[in-house]
Amino acid sequence: DTGVSQDPRHKITKRGQNVTFRCDPISEHNRLYWYRQTLGQGPEFLTYFQNEAQLEKSRLLSDRFSAERPKGSFSTLEIQRTEQGDSAMYLCASSLDTLGVGYTFGSGTRLTVV
Amino acid sequence: KQEVTQIPAALSVPEGENLVLNCSFTDSAIYNLQWFRQDPGKGLTSLLLIQSSQREQTSGRLNASLDKSSGRSTLYIAASQPGDSATYLCAGALTNFGNEKLTFGTGTRLTIIP
């Protein structure tokens, strides 16, 4: 297992288009998180899965955003009708619900909306 | 609501010097604190994880401490090297029905001058 994988690494899209990102967590990790990071800021929490259940969504996640984790394995984050303000780095992380196990982040997907 | 602050925003030191990065948080009921490194345009690499029951963790030239009572954590880097140049982020987790989502600071951009 090589860690958390995210695809694509970069995405440029026109305003109004839909985009979908994929995250493959570390195989034995049951927790999966999505974060968003804009330039010069720390990552902000978007949503969280425990296995296949989406347990929490941030107010940052408008109704244009949807995330899924079918079968508790990989996850997808879809943004509909993209806006320029959606331009950011989208980071995925996974962890275990075990004391002492921290987060492992992927390399992120950089979205640019033009 | 947990707030995490990192000061200074940027720091430059000559190669070989020891240095300390600071992180403060508002909620002392922190579950754990994690330090990350981020290179430009990249994802986050976990450096050290400190559980609330611990006071410090060490890995190679890095040492992180946690003082819950004062709401502070420090990351000590010994014998700095140009390869240490990166942005360093601290993030705290609060227990929330088992959801240990992280709240990040805005980071300290470290430059090691050869």
Determine contact, residues A42/B105, Cβ cutoff 8 Å.
yes
A107 and B42 within 8 Å at the Cβ level: the answer is: yes
pLDDT digits over B34-60, tens only?
999 999 888 999 999 998 888 999 999
Q: Indicate the residue type of B4.
A: V
Phi first, then psi: what are they for A72, rounded to 5°? 70, 20
Residues of chain B found within 8 Å of residue A50, distances taken between Cβ atoms:
98-99
Closest chain B residue by Cα to residue A39: B41
**Residue A62: its pLDDT value, please?**
86
Q: Is the dihedral of CA B44, B63, B87, A61 positive or negative?
A: positive
**Residue A55: its pLDDT value, please?**
87
d(CA A109, CA A35): 11
A105 and B45 within 8 Å at the Cβ level: the answer is: yes
Mean pLDDT of chain A: 92
Going from the C-alpha of A20 to that of each of A6, B75, B101, the distances in angstroms are 11, 36, 23
List the beta bridge partners of residue B46.
Answer: B36
pLDDT digits over B93-106, tens only?
876 555 578 899 99
> What number is the average pLDDT over the span A21-33?
94
> What number is the average pLDDT over the span B4-10?
93
Percent of chain A scored above 90 by pLDDT?
A: 74
**Residue A7: its pLDDT value, please?**
97
B62-67 and B86-94 beta bridge pairing:
unpaired
Going from the C-alpha of B66 to that of each of A87, B49, B53, B69, the distances in angstroms are 34, 10, 9, 9
Q: Is the dihedral of CA B7, B9, B12, B18 positive or negative?
A: positive
Residues of chain A found within 8 Å of residue B51, distances taken between Cβ atoms:
99-100
pLDDT digits over B67-85, tens only?
988 999 999 999 999 999 9
> What number is the average pLDDT over the span A61-82?
94
Q: How confident is the model at residue A81 (pLDDT cuts 50, 70, 90)?
A: very high
